[in-house]
Chains A and B, each alone.
Chain A
Amino acid sequence: MLIHHPLLGPRDASEFVYKGDAALIHRPDWQSEDAQAQFADYGYLRDNPAGPLRELWFHEQGDRSWLVVTRDTTSHEITSVELASDVARREARAT
Chain B
Amino acid sequence: MTGVNRLDGGLIDRTKPMRFTFDGIGFTGFEGDTLASALLANDVRLMGRSFKYHRPRGPMTSGSEEPNALVALRSGARKEPNTRATTAELFAGLSATSQNRWPSLRWDAMAVNDRLSQFFAAGFYYKTFMWPAAFWEKVYEPIIRRAAGLGTLSHEPDPDSYDKGFLHCDLLVIGTGPSGLMAALTAARAGADVIIADEDFLPGGRLSAETHMIEGQSGAAWAAASVAELQALPNVRVMTRSTVIGAFDHGIYGVVERVSDHLKEPFAGKPRQILWRVYSKRAILAAGATERPIVFENNDRPGIMLASAVRAYVNRWAVTPARQVAIFTNNDDGHRTARDLAAKGVDVTAVIDTRLDAPTSADYQVIAGGVVVQTWGRLGLTQIEVRTPKGESLRIPCGALGVSGGWNPNVHLTCHQGARPVWNDTIAAFVPGNSLPPGLIPTGAADGAFSTYEALSSGQKAAHVALSDLGIPHKVSDLPEAEDAPVNITPFWHVASAKRAWVDQQNDVTAKDVQLAHQENFVSVEHLKRYTTLGMATDQGKTSNTAGLAIMADIAGKSIPEVGTTMFRPPYTPTAIGVLAGRARDEDFRPIRKTPSHVWAEEQGAVFVEVGMWLRAQWFPKPGETHWRQSVDREVLQTRKSVGICDVTTLGKIDVQGTDAAAFLNKVYCNGFAQLPVGRTRYGLMLREDAIAMDDGTAARLAEDHFVVTTTTANAVPVYRHMEFVRQCLFPDMDVQLISTTEAWAQFAVAGPKSRALLQQIIDPPFDISNDAFPFMACAEITVTGGLRARLFRISFSGELAFEIAVPTRYGDALMRRMMDVGAGFDVVAYGTEALSVMRIEKGHAAGNELNGTTTALNLGMGRMVSKKKDAIGSTLSEREGLTEGDALKLVGLKPVDPDHNVPAGAHLMTKGATVSAANDQGYVTSACFSPNLGCHIGLAYLKSGDSRMGEIIRLVSPLTGVDHDVEVVSAHFVDPKGERLRA
Contact = CB atoms under 8 A, between A and B. Distances in A.
A8 interface: no
A70 to B, nearest CB: 14
B690 A1 contact: no
Given A43-B689, A60-B721, A76-B249, A88 B877 contact: no
A27 B249 CA distance: 32
Interface in B691-741: 717, 721, 724-725, 728-733
Given A39-B689, A43-B689, A88-B732, A58 B279 contact: no
A30 B875 contact: yes
Contacts of B277: 12
A30 B729 contact: no
Given A17-B721, A89-B733, A77 B438 contact: yes
Given A89-B732, A95-B733, A58 B721 contact: yes
- The dominant DSSP class at the A interface is mixed
B250 A2 contact: yes
**Which of B438, B728, B877 has the most CB atoms of chain A within a 10 A radius of its CB?**
B728
A49 B489 CA distance: 45
A64 interface: yes
Nearest to A90: B732
Interface string A15-43: 00101000011011011000110011011
B417 interface: yes
B725 A19 contact: yes
A79 interface: no
B877 A36 contact: yes
A95 B729 CA distance: 11
B252 A36 contact: no
A45 to B, nearest CB: 13
Contacts of A42: 689
Nearest to A4: B250
Contact of A25 (B248, B730, B875): B730
A92 to B, nearest CB: 8
Contact of A85 (B250, B728, B875, B876): B728
Contacts of A66: 724-725, 728-729
Interface string B937-959: 00000000000000000000000
A28 to B, nearest CB: 8
Contacts of A83: 728
A43 B689 CA distance: 7
A1 B250 contact: yes
Contacts of B876: 28, 30, 35-36, 39
Nearest to B880: A36
Residue with the highest number of chain A CB atoms closer than 10 Å, among B690, B725, B732: B732
A27 B730 contact: yes
B875 A40 contact: no
B584 to A, nearest CB: 13
A43 B690 contact: yes
A1 B249 contact: yes
Contact of A58 (B438, B690, B725, B733): B725
Interface in B246-263: 248-252
B879 A36 contact: yes
A43 B877 contact: yes
Given A1-B252, A42-B689, A43-B690, A56 B725 contact: yes
A39 B729 contact: no
B728 A95 contact: no
Contacts of B252: 1-2
Nearest to B725: A66
Nearest to A24: B729
A59 B733 CA distance: 20
A75 to B, nearest CB: 8
Contact of B729 (A1, A25, A74, A75): A25
Nearest to A44: B690
Interface in B266-280: 277, 279
A60 B607 CA distance: 32
Interface string A56-95: 1010100011100000001111100001111011001001
A48 B689 CA distance: 21
Contacts of A36: 876-877, 879-880
A89 to B, nearest CB: 5
Contacts of B279: 2
B633 interface: no
A80 to B, nearest CB: 15
A75 B416 CA distance: 11
A72 to B, nearest CB: 11
B730 A88 contact: yes
A60 to B, nearest CB: 7
A38 B279 CA distance: 44
Contacts of A17: 721
A95 to B, nearest CB: 6
Interface string B674-699: 00000000000000011000000000
Nearest to B689: A43
A14 B797 CA distance: 37
Nearest to A78: B250
Contact of A64 (B438, B689, B724, B877): B724
Given A1-B249, A1-B252, A30 B877 contact: no
B249 A84 contact: no
Nearest to A38: B876
Contacts of B871: 30-31
A9 to B, nearest CB: 12
A12 B871 CA distance: 37
B721 A85 contact: no
A65 B875 CA distance: 26
A74 B419 CA distance: 11
A43 B251 CA distance: 35
Contacts of B879: 36
B672 to A, nearest CB: 15
Contacts of B418: 74
Nearest to B419: A75
Interface centre among B248, B418, B730, B876 (most CB of A within 10 A): B876
A85 B876 CA distance: 24
B667 to A, nearest CB: 9
Nearest to B166: A12
A2 B251 CA distance: 9
Given A36-B876, A43-B689, A56-B729, 11 more contacts: A1-B249, A28-B876, A30-B875, A30-B876, A56-B725, A58-B724, A58-B725, A64-B724, A83-B728, A85-B729, A89-B732
14 contacts: A2-B249, A2-B251, A2-B252, A17-B721, A19-B725, A27-B730, A31-B871, A39-B876, A42-B689, A76-B249, A76-B250, A86-B732, A95-B731, A95-B733
Interface of A: 1-2, 12, 17, 19, 24-25, 27-28, 30-31, 35-36, 39-40, 42-44, 56, 58, 60, 64-66, 74-78, 83-86, 88-89, 92, 95
A-B pairs with the 6 shortest C-beta distances? A85-B732, A30-B871, A2-B250, A85-B728, A66-B728, A1-B249
